[in-house]
Each structure stands twice: as structure tokens, then as C-alpha cells.
Amino acid sequence: MPASFEALFANRPVILAPMEDVSDAIYRRLCRSVGADLCVTEFVNVEGLLRGCRKAHHKILIEPDDQPTVIQIYGSDPERLAEAAEVAEAAGPSFLDINCGCWVPKIARRGAGAGWLKNPTAMVEMAKMVVERVALPVTVKTRIGFGAETEMPIVDLARRLEDVGVRAITVHCRTANMGHSGAADWSWAKRVREVVSMPVIVNGDIDSGEAAQRALAETGCTGVMVGRRAIEHPWIFREARAMLDRGEELAPPTLEERFDLCRRLLHERWALRGRVSSTRRHLGGFIKGLTGASALRLELFQCDTLEGNLAILDRYQSAADSFAAA
Ligand SMILES: Cc1cc2nc3c(=O)[nH]c(=O)nc-3n(C[C@H](O)[C@H](O)[C@H](O)COP(=O)(O)O)c2cc1C
């Protein structure tokens, strides 16, 4: 029995952010195994979904053991977004999310992603159309504004989105113009939370259990969403959970846990893609802080086969084990 929408937000969820080429089914399961409460797919182009593009359809595939997962879609045409929402709904996600925050110029310039922030009224009308087309709850992930408005639109916008039936909002506390640079200003999430009754998820710069706790304490938000830190340190999910549930600071992952996660990701991505390159942005982070990490990283990054990568890990691990035993 899938959890109700309300239940998903009942216990201050720590959520894996939608991230292109990161938040696939393999990484969602991996993050869930270390404590992620809810995961969002990478954004899926509505045109790809409606044209029946294999890659887009693969992105919305959700196996029974990959729940709860949210599907995020993006596009610039309200009618196409509503149609694609129906397609995504049939894939059985927990709910649907509309990307109104992608700052990448080739997307935002076409009016998709953060492009919607340039016309809040159009964004609200589009969201209303999507909400009316599907039975599943619809949520929006956006930024505080496009930049640099004198008055950020996010507070009024959130209220208007709630009025047309949007059920939750994720606020990435930067402008689109900021991209990923500069500090996220969580005070905007607080201002949003003060004017709506739907769940508000705070996002931006949550990079530790302590930061998750601080973001929730400062904003009063319903949950936190973690992006970049989860790429290199997925254990942030259990660290945040321990901090939120028990005020406990967990010890860092052991060497064995780090190597196990490296192996798991290598095996699974290799099985799916037949190459190891997509694991590299993760492996460097998984081993960060270990003795000899930079030499290990270099060796891994120069090796293109699964067997080779596994052999390098085995060699380092037994060397570390004998070093620890000595
Ligand atoms: C590699 C990468 C891919 C991303 N892809 C998406 C995406 O598909 N959809 C989306 O809404 N945001 C996307 N984002 C933005 C993140 O979801 C998140 O809002 C942002 O990284 C800020 O959170 P953080 O400071 O925890 O990283 C992406 C970010 C990164 C780093």
C-alpha cells in the first residue's frame, strides 16, 4: 500500500534532489539504503515523453522496490506539460513535480525550468492546467526568483500556486542567475512557509546532518532536499535522520562501508550502461578522507573496466586492513 501524500511529509523527510545523470533508479535505491526518505527522478523532458522517446520513458520507470519516488517533468508549453503529466502519472510515482527552477540557459531561455519565473502568472496558469489533468498530487520545485528582481516573486507565487491546487513547493533558495554559486538564503523558505499551509521543502547548501537540522529550525519547513552533497556523500541521509530524530551525530562511514558502496555502484552502473565513467563523480567523494585517497582516486579514474576498478579497490582495502591490523 503506497504511503499517502500526507504520510510522506509527516516526519520531516530528507529528500534526494532531482539531479540529471545522478538521480536514476540505481542512485535512488542506493540513497534510500542509507536513509533517504523520498527520491525525485532527474527532470524528464515532456517532448521526449510525448514522442515516446526510449530514454525519456526509461527515466520514468519505477520498479516496486524503488518507492517512494516522485517524477519530475519539465517543458515550456502548458498543454504539453499537462499531457506529459498524464503519461508520467501512469508510471506510478508517489506524486508529480514540475521543474520551474532549472537555470541552464538552453532550457530557461526557451521558457522551461526557471524560465517560468519570468512570468509568474503564466507559471500559475500552467500549474493549474497540470493539476486539473491528473489525479495524483502535483508539486513545484522552483527558485526564489530569476534575478535580480527588486522584490523576489517566490512568496506571492507560492501562495498563488497553492490557490490553484499545487500540494507542496520546494524552494531552492537561490535565484536562477546565481546558478549554483553564492550562498542559499534559507530565509526565503521561511517567508514562503509563513504564507502557505502546504508543505514547504527547503533546498540549497544542505551538506550535513547539522545543516539539515539548522535549515528546519530556521525555516519551520516540512522537509529538506539534498542535492550536491548526496553525490559524494550519500550517508548524509542517515546522518540527517539521526540528527533530526535523536539529535545524534553519527560517526562517519567506515572504510568497509565506503568500499562496499563503491563496488555496488560500479556493478550496477556497469550492468546498466556497460561503462564506469558515470560512477566517477561519486567514487572520488565516497573515498574522500581515507589514507591514500588521492592516489586511489587517480588509479580508479584511469581505469575503464569494471574488473579493473574492483581489483584496485580490493588491493587498497587489503592494504588498509593489514595497515590497521599491524
Ligand atoms: C548535477 C546536477 C543536476 C541537477 N539536475 C536537476 C534536475 O534535473 N531537476 C531539478 O529540479 N534540479 C536539478 N538540479 C538542482 C538540484 O536539484 C538542487 O536544487 C541544487 O543542486 C541545490 O541543492 P544543493 O545545494 O543541495 O546542491 C541539479 C543539480 C546538479 C548539481
Q: Is the pTM of this model over 0.95?
A: yes
CA–CA dist 179, 227 (Å, integer): 13
Q: How far is the CA of 321 from the centre of ligand 1 (A)?
A: 37
| Shortest-distance Cα residue to atom 10 of ligand 1 | 18
Residue 214 φ then ψ, to 5°:
-65, -40
Instruction: Characterize 80-93 residue by residue with b for buried, 16 or more Cβ atoms within 10 angstroms of its Cβ, and e for exposed.
Output: bbbbbbbbbbebbb
What pLDDT is attached to residue 323?
A: 63
Position 263, amino acid: R
| Shortest-distance Cα residue to atom 28 of ligand 1 | 19
Residues near ligand 1 (Cβ within 6 A): 17-20, 22, 42-43, 72, 99, 101-102, 141, 172, 180, 203-206, 226-229
Of 246, 274, 294, the residue at which a domain comes to its end is: 246
What pLDDT is attached to residue 83?
A: 98
| Shortest-distance Cα residue to atom 19 of ligand 1 | 172
Say which CATH number the domain at 83 has: 3.20.20.70
Angle, helices 120-133/154-163, rounded to nearest 10 degrees: 30
CA–CA dist 235, 286 (Å, integer): 9
Catalogue the active-site residues.
Answer: 102
Residues 117 and 181 in one domain: yes
- For 247, the 3-state DSSP assignment is coil
Q: How far is the CA of 183 from the centre of ligand 1 (A)?
A: 14
What pLDDT is attached to residue 321?
A: 79
Of 219, 246, 273, the residue at which a domain comes to its end is: 246
Residues 169 and 202 in one domain: yes
Instruction: Give the atom of ligand 1 at the shortest distance from the alpha carbon of 172.
Output: 19
What pLDDT is attached to residue 326?
A: 60
CA–CA dist 111, 119 (Å, integer): 9
Which residue range forms the structural domain that includes residue 145? 5-246
Residues 205 and 281 in one domain: no
The residues of the chain scoring below 70 in pLDDT are 323-326
Q: How far is the CA of 292 from the centre of ligand 1 (A)?
A: 30
Instruction: Give the atom of ligand 1 at the shortest distance from the alpha carbon of 184.
Output: 25
CA–CA dist 102, 119 (Å, integer): 15
Q: How far is the CA of 19 from the centre of ligand 1 (A)?
A: 5
Strand partners, 143: 172
Q: What share of the chain is helix, strand, coil (3-state, %, to 5)?
A: 50, 15, 35
Q: Work out how many domains the chain is built from and give that number.
A: 2
| Shortest-distance Cα residue to atom 18 of ligand 1 | 227
Of 218, 246, 274, the residue at which a domain comes to its end is: 246
Residues 201 and 106 in one domain: yes
| Cα distance from N-terminal residue to C-terminal residue, the chain | 51
Nearest to residue 22, comparing CAs of 303, 258, 235, 228? 228
Residues 131 and 166 in one domain: yes
Residue 164 grid coordinates: 490553484
